[in-house]
Structure 1
């Protein structure tokens, strides 16, 4: 009996020990899960890092501010970076051993900046009249080598990429308030002033999107540029004086209209549509506008833009005080008014365009790789992204305004339509004064009569008024012009254009572009 009682007691003790261990395991599991919810490890790590930073501050009391070349996920070049670069140019030229040189507004001067790894010091005046020293360093890091996918869907990848460039400012911890609240805003203001002083106006053109880099967001600039030095001004533009003054007044209102556009709730931009026959001065008008406003020009070749997203990126990288130009927009992409029944039109005419509209002519700049759509272009003009930045003109040119989709050129997108017409007598008198320095001549009456009967572009008139030899003078040049006008009149009576070509061929060629529209009707 005693043996049996002893064995039962041992069994109960073993069972109680197992139950206790199981309860302990369950309780530990519950407690551990709750500790994980409290992120105990993160809490402990944060406290350790805080103490580590305090300890490091005793050893290294310097703070830093980093200003990168690009901001917003490299979507846009940082204005702060350019301002710091401009501000440091004087100090760099004085103190730095290795410099990077760029062209300046003055053809004989250079704008200098420090290369990677260089350092320059600057002095800040504190409130107590003591001088505080800060240090600027220039750095760059190479892009990572990877075969990963694109970034933001832009570009084709696999091309040469640019380094990440940035400036880093070092200063003592005790000067934090002075540097952040006083020094940095001051150098930005001074940097902007230097940029205005050294500014060179530029003519930009877009790089084919297949040459953009897109790895890890290190997107190469979508634009390349040259210095803009076009001599055309409104003073030398052949146009009716009243019409010229109207355009100049409109440009003045736009340039000085920042407060007005903010008050009415519109993006500070304005669209101009220049339309008219070839040779009537549309490109010259753009150059005159840029010189009058002191703006840069961004010339977009749509057939080099792969998609609507790439077009958006081009717009984001443009700066304020600029004119964004798309020339011959009727020949760049399918942007005509024939958007309905595209599939039926293509089936009816094997030579028609697959995506509707007019069949592309052999000389059109159509690029099958471009997927820019009318919708994408409309969003580019007045969508949400069009408000990124300000003080921009958007200018379209076309030889055939009636072929463009009405949605593209309505008011609000192309706000002002300017017809660049054939040469009138007022424009001729301006050209005669400019080219021959004559205000009146016995042949003026003949020119006036002929210009009212035939069409001749200002470019053709100017060519006839240009002296071709040392023996040419006002008499010979005006006589040559009268001869050309009489020849044009004779061709017109024979059913030919000014160049002696049959008008029917020109009309047939233009009718091809609206053939699909006629079928839809």
Structure 2
């Protein structure tokens, strides 16, 4: 055998030996790792058993907000209501809020207060607490930093490990169910607004206007009420067709025709809360989205006089164009330039809500964050609004709030004066066909001004007012005709 063959055989032997050694090392390490894992699981089991012997209690935490600070938790509100009714007698420190009954209060546990409860022989303990918010430097959304300034409240439920199934499967569902029932009993409807802040503030909603006192043609009023009834009963329908449970209403007509009164009547009819959004106080589309997410179900979201809001009706655009025109046409006039610069600065610091952001708010993905909500726009000039904003599917029902007709007048006469017929009714009918008068103005004339006023004097005052309006309209038309002839 020559030297090269011997050397080749030696090299092959060395390689095989190295592979064998490496495989032995790897295999030993794999066995060692598996042994460690088995030992770790074994020790963890014993540690859990030891912990259960030392502390046999489990806990469930129910936080005030779901999804960070995006939306208040329904479970938290239900537990709060339940504890206020069932357990607050044992608490030493309570919070109190106004109740639906003016003579009562709705109680809830204060922070760091603990009460006990019992269910089917199992004793549990509830603790109300809060903790400071985390630092918001790395928040994904800028509005979280403002919302995170408040302490994060939560309830903790403690119970024995042996009662786990009973508590989780029976007790907690019962707490939520009873909490919902108590919330309905104690609910006070609220009017929310976002003025001067990007968070909601509220007062109790106590507007007296109802459909029974709304000056409107009875047939059109019934049409609106039937539509509201169909919406309120439409949960299964919306689920079947795959649409969010919401509906858009556009109320349009001259000032004084009852658009705001219609919103109040709708809220009282449906027993819904009202969210009145002031768009000029909303800094951006993100802030608008945040406000919308925080609205609750069974609510009416209102944007009044939307034709005067931001870019949506061209109001801001007109202001910019006026400033640009002043800047270009009056370059030699220092006062005009200063006014134009001031207008530009004002526009730059105003709200950045866009039409696209509002459309997404109405029927985009975020519109499905909640259910059973009406979105209502009111406007005096429907022709100024972008067609995309008020098309069917966004504003599903368009309701014209017109000048007072004879049927609406008869309703007002019955409501304000208690009369259903009178010798002056024919005069009122004729004059209302000749001149436009809002229901608000008609109602003002039918309101007794002194103890001596009766139905006849009030109706006579209305007829006189209508006659004067007719004469003014005739003089205005005659003067216009004379001007046209002169030209």
- Normalization by structure 2: what TM-score? 0.84
Q: Classify the secondary structure of the residue corresponding to 1:330.
A: helix
Q: Offset at 1:337? A: 7.1
- Corresponding position: 1:56 with 2:51: yes
Contact 1:326–1:397 (CA under 8 A) maintained in structure 2: yes
- Corresponding position: 1:169 with 2:153: no
Quickly say closer, same or farther: Cα 1:401–1:82, change in 2 above 3 A: same
Q: Classify the secondary structure of the residue corresponding to 1:65.
A: strand
For 1:91 and 1:410, the matched residues in 2 are separated by 49
2:94 alignment partner, one of 67, 91, 99:
99
Partner residue, 1:124: 119
Q: Classify the secondary structure of the residue corresponding to 1:270.
A: strand
| Cα deviation digits, residues 461-499 of structure 1 (max 9, x gap) | 111111111111112211111111111112212338xxx
| Cα deviation digits, residues 337-393 of structure 1 (max 9, x gap) | 799xx89x94996259xxxxxx9xx9xx98843111000000000001101111000
| Cα deviation digits, residues 249-280 of structure 1 (max 9, x gap) | 00000000111111111111000000000000
Partner residue, 2:428: 447
Q: Offset at 1:148? A: 2.2
Partner residue, 1:515: none
Paired residues, number: 443
| Cα deviation digits, residues 409-430 of structure 1 (max 9, x gap) | 0000000000000000110111
2:471 alignment partner, one of 490, 514, 521:
490
Q: Greater share of helix residues, 1 or 2?
A: 2
For 1:309 and 1:64, the matched residues in 2 are separated by 36
Contact 2:309–2:315 (CA under 8 A) maintained in structure 1: no
Q: Offset at 1:440? A: 1.2
- Corresponding position: 1:142 with 2:132: yes
Q: Offset at 1:187? A: 1.0
1:332 alignment partner, one of 309, 323, 326:
309
1:383-398 equivalence runs, <5 A: 383-398=364-379
Q: Offset at 1:122? A: 1.1
Contact 2:129–2:155 (CA under 8 A) maintained in structure 1: yes
Quickly say closer, same or farther: Cα 1:160–1:267, change in 2 above 3 A: closer
1:222-261 equivalence runs, <5 A: 222-261=199-238
Q: Classify the secondary structure of the residue corresponding to 1:135.
A: strand
Partner residue, 1:313: 290
For 2:416 and 2:348, the matched residues in 1 are separated by 40
> RMSD of aligned C-alpha atoms?
3.3
For 1:47 and 1:276, the matched residues in 2 are separated by 76
Partner residue, 1:275: 252
Partner residue, 1:197: 185
Partner residue, 2:66: 71
Q: Classify the secondary structure of the residue corresponding to 1:423.
A: coil
Quickly say closer, same or farther: Cα 1:444–1:320, change in 2 above 3 A: same
- Normalization by structure 1: what TM-score? 0.78
1:179 alignment partner, one of 147, 159, 167:
167
Partner residue, 1:517: none
- Corresponding position: 1:468 with 2:443: no
For 1:43 and 1:326, the matched residues in 2 are separated by 63
Q: Classify the secondary structure of the residue corresponding to 2:203.
A: strand
Partner residue, 1:350: 325
